[in-house]
Amino acid sequence: MVDTRKIGFDKEKEAVKFLKRSGYKIIETNFTTVFGEIDIIAKHKDDLVFVEVKYRNTLSGGTPQEAVTKTKQQKIIKSAILYLKQKNLKSNLRFDIVAITGDRFEIIESAFSSNKYYI
């Protein structure tokens, strides 16, 4: 039986390495709140970036980024707001996706926004 949790955890670790090579400074991983989890929190340029990692072995079920639904985005945004409040931070925010298909990694910067939320 395929252990999808282990695969997901392994892909998140690979995504951290990929982001570091791409100039991101990793601050925290697997930040968990009552709303959900943020896979990776990083600094990139002048932005505080909340990163969702999505993996698909093939594209037969759609792209990885298509799996980041509006509902998932709302959970990430709420968790990010909570993170900012807990850390007493004010920063430029960005929500990126690391889309992994097979062995191919892609960063989708500003994949969605928190415009309708007060931060």
**Residue 13: phi, psi to the nearest 5?**
-65, -40
Q: Does pTM top 0.85 for this prediction?
A: yes
Instruction: Identify the residue with better confidence: 61 or 12.
Output: 12
Residue (of 79, 25, 91, 82) closest to 52 by Cα position: 79
Query: For residue 86, what is the enclosing H or E element?
Result: helix 70-87
52, 36 Cβ separation under 8 angstroms: no
- Residue the block writes with tokens 């509902």: 71
Give the DSSP H or E segment for 114: none
pLDDT of residue 116: 58
pLDDT tens sequence across 69-112: 999 999 999 999 999 999 999 888 999 999 999 999 999 999 99
pLDDT tens figures, 1-18 = 778 888 888 999 999 999
